[in-house]
Structure 1
Amino acid sequence: MENKCTLKLKVFLWLLLMDRLNSKDLLQRKHFNTQGNDRCVTCNSLTTEDSFHLFFTCSFAQQCWHNIGINGNFHTTFMDMIIEAKENFQFPFFMETFAICCWNI
């Protein structure tokens, strides 16, 4: 089944998958000023703010996923996590829900 997401969301998901979204970690690798650290400000932890943390392992993101009913093992690889979450999702529009949730996080 083809996913009904807009092109903007498809590009966004591709950037997320390719680790090209501007997280603090990526900005530091590109030598941008990130105010001296690469720590996640969303969950106030000492964890490095990379794309995977920001969208999946951050406590804020995990609460968002839980609230919309997408549950998976967020401590595996990106593709394994998506496959498991899709298998556990109760509705046929998983990718659309997943894309919109990522966009809003």
Structure 2
Amino acid sequence: RHWRSPLEDNTCPLCHAQAHEDRDHLFFTCEFSSRVWNYLQIQWLAGLFPSECLIAARKSFGQPFLKEVVYLASWNVWLLRNGRIFRNERPTFAAWRRNFIHDITLLSHRFKP
């Protein structure tokens, strides 16, 4: 089992930037996460609380299920981060996209047509 203590290394496990790994970096300003949000066509406004970000993003997203998309996108970013830290797996956008599409497809069966 590979384990990297956050105290040992101050680089982001996804983009390798010398950045403190906090919520804002991991889910919003990280180069990897930015690519995720660009792919999903979700724009985040800097300096807002997460709830305010969701309200602002809802206007640009234009779909009724924004929260579900954000939750699944973030969850899959988190899983890739953990894979890097605990199993030394290389995080790729292709892996994120494959897992996200799988999860959103499963969730779509809950939506009414």
Please indicate the TM-score interval, normalised by the length of the shorter structure. Answer: 0.5 to 0.7
Which amino acid in the other structure matches residue 19 of structure 2?
A: T
TM-score normalized by the length of structure 1: 0.60
| Unpaired segments ≥5 residues, structure 1 | 1-31
Decide which structure has greater helix share: 2
Tell me, in whole angstroms, the C-alpha distance in 1 between the residues paired with 2:55 and 2:31.
21
Determine the structure 1 residue equivalent to 2:34: 62
Q: Which runs of 4+ in 1 moved over 4 A?
A: none
Paired with 1:34 and 1:83, the residues of 2 have a C-alpha distance of: 32
Q: Residues of 2 paired with 1:48 and 1:74: CA distance?
A: 17
> How many residues align structurally?
74
Q: CA deviation at 1:68?
A: 1.0
Structure 1 CA distance, aligned partners of 2:28 and 2:5?
A: 24
> Which residue matches 1:41?
13
Which amino acid counterpart does residue 83 of structure 1 have in structure 2?
I
Match of 2:52 in 1: 80
Cα-Cα RMSD: 2.0
What is the Cα deviation at residue 100 of structure 1?
A: 0.9
Question: TM-score by structure 2 length?
Answer: 0.57
- Give the 3-state SS of the residue equivalent to 1:70 in structure 2: coil
Matches within 5 A, 1:7-46: 33-34=5-6, 36-46=8-18
Q: Displacement, 1:70?
A: 1.1
Aligned match of 1:101: 73
Which sections of structure 2, spanning at least 5 residues, go unmatched?
A: 78-113
